[in-house]
Amino acid sequence: MLLINCPWCGPHNESEYHYGGQAHVPYPDNPAELDDRQWAEYVFYRDNPKGPFAERWMHSHGCRRWFNALRDTVSYEVLATYRLDEPRPEPRVTDPAGEQR
């Protein structure tokens, strides 16, 4: 079970949270000008990286607020959590030797 640090409530178990998929997906600036392909991109296509991934979580059994997390999709380590109005932090990645780079 993941231990996720809610920016408002502190660390709680994964089962208290709801997952919201990729973070930082902006609503189109000029929606009336998008063609079908661009709408498909916005609605259905998301990044699916192997490694650090910025994603949305909601503390549904706590403060019920959305926030963002940077999480490694291979190790499942939660590298950082941050408020929606904060920028994506640089990934802190630990290599197999335990050195941070």
Partner 1 sequence: MTAQPQPAPPEHPDFLWRNPEPRSSYDVVIVGAGGHGLATAYYLAKEHGITDVAVLEKGWLAGGNMARNTTIIRSNYLWDESAAIYEHALKLWEGLPEELDYDFLFSQRGVLNLAHTLQDVREGMRRANANRLNGVDAEWLDPDQVAEVCPILNVSPHTRYPVLGGTFQPRAGIAKHDHVAWALARRADEMGVDLIQGCEVTGFVKDGEKVVGVETNLGRINAGRVGLAAAGHSSVLAERAGVRLPVQSHPLQALVSELHEPVHPTVVMSNHVHVYVSQAHKGELVMGAGVDSYNGYGQRGSFHVIEEQMAAAVELFPIFARAHVLRTWGGIVDVTPDASPIISATPVENLFVNCGWGTGGFKATPAAGLTFAHTIATGEAHALNAPFALDRFTTGALIDEHGAAAVAH
Which residues here bind partner 1, judged by CB under 8 A? 1-2, 13-15, 18-19, 21, 36-37, 39-40, 43-46, 48, 50, 53, 55, 71, 73-76
Closest CB to partner 1 among 11 and 21?
A: 21
**Shortest Å distance, C-beta 73 to partner 1:** 5
Cα–Cα dist 97/101, whole Å: 11
Cα–Cα dist 20/57, whole Å: 5
**Shortest Å distance, C-beta 28 to partner 1:** 15
Cα–Cα dist 93/84, whole Å: 22
- Nearest in space to 70 (alpha carbons), one of 49, 95, 42, 44: 49
**Shortest Å distance, C-beta 96 to partner 1:** 15
Closest CB to partner 1 among 46 and 64?
A: 46
Question: What is the number of other CB atoms lying within 10 angstroms of the CB of residue 57?
Answer: 24
